[in-house]
Amino acid sequence: MVLSQRSQYAVRAVLELARRQRDGAPVKAGAIAAAQLIPARFLENILAQLRQGGIVESSRGKEGGYMLRRPARQVSVGDVVRFLEGRLPIIDCREATAERGCSLQPGCVLLPVWEEAHEAMMQVFDRTSFQYLLERERAAQGCAVPDYVI
């Protein structure tokens, strides 16, 4: 399974908001786009979706911008991915089975493996908070990192 470019950009945008949340001031979309190398026009659409999903909030005006709606420790990568992607397809054969049939069905022994791998991936996303990512980033810069995820 591969995440869409939109989901990858959304995760990077939320990570950037988590980085800057300490200031307490909203972050301009342009600053997020520049820091994360995300096309600004595409980012505006993603931020609007994240706002509708309750992950970020926005304020207008000269000092306006975006902020996380909840603390970074309460927002997981899984929250962002699930909101944007919904139920992610495991692999193409799953959809092929439903739409046009699969010559390996019934009784394909691989499908349960794909489903188990997908579930494991989503568990990693769900237990990876943006706070944890920030702490890992700090550890990579020479600071201590805790041994927990959420």
Q: What is the pLDDT of residue 97?
A: 47
Q: What is the average pLDDT score of the chain? A: 85
CATH architecture of 5-140: Orthogonal Bundle (1.10)
pLDDT digits (tens, 9 = 90+) for 83-134: 998 876 566 665 554 555 566 666 788 878 878 888 898 899 999 999 999 9
> Domain extents for the chain?
5-140
Beta strands in 24-121 (DSSP E): 56-59, 65-68
Q: What is the pLDDT of residue 149?
A: 47
